[in-house]
Amino acid sequence: MLAFRGLCYDDWHIAAMEINIIIDGEFEGCPGADWLRSVAERTLAAQKVSPNAEMGLVITDQARVQELNRTYRREDRPTDVLAFYMTPEEGKGGSEQPPFVVPPDGVTHLGEVVISYPQAAIQAQEHRHPVAKELAVLIVHGVLHLLGHDHERPEQKREMSAGERDILNKILVDMEGKSDEKG
């Protein structure tokens, strides 16, 4: 397991956020943990998440994602991204659920995003863009789910899609600029 304490930087904002990265397997062409962490950090920064937040990001295979999907969503099929949030769902569950207790360390534990690298590679090929871009799409999508966004109803889907596009445009433009500066 690789665990990193990252920093948001550039024109986003400076904040220490803990983002635990697990790359569960050998995946040809998979970006490194620093790049994956940067996409998650930039998504959290764009959403103005408190610097006292932590989350996990797991890159794994189809079988593991299908197992999780079957166990937790009762859908026995692979999927591209799963989000397991640890924050309370506003407007869901009513008053029958007790409020979440604030952890003693003061850190907001957002949850885990689990991505199927093989599915990301398939989707990248279908969309004719690099796998890294598809991973960025899936990370942003998963993080937004951790933050309570959903796409069950048409208006939610429009709102979430617009937010994803805005964040991805900022992330990808900034990352392209950084690679141009190095090259």
pLDDT by residue, tens only, the chain of 183 residues: 333 334 333 444 434 689 999 999 889 889 999 999 999 999 999 999 988 889 999 999 999 999 999 999 999 999 999 999 887 655 444 445 555 566 677 788 899 999 999 999 999 999 999 999 999 999 999 999 999 888 888 888 899 989 899 999 988 776 665 544 444
Count of the separate structural domains present in the chain? 1
CATH number at residue 113: 3.40.390.30
Structure tokens at 102: 């604030």
Residue 109: which domain range? 2-182
Beta-bridge partner residues of 15: 8
* 3-state secondary structure at position 13: coil
pTM: 0.81
Q: What is Dmax (Cα atoms) for the chain?
A: 56
How big is the chain by its Cα radius of gyration, in Å?
16
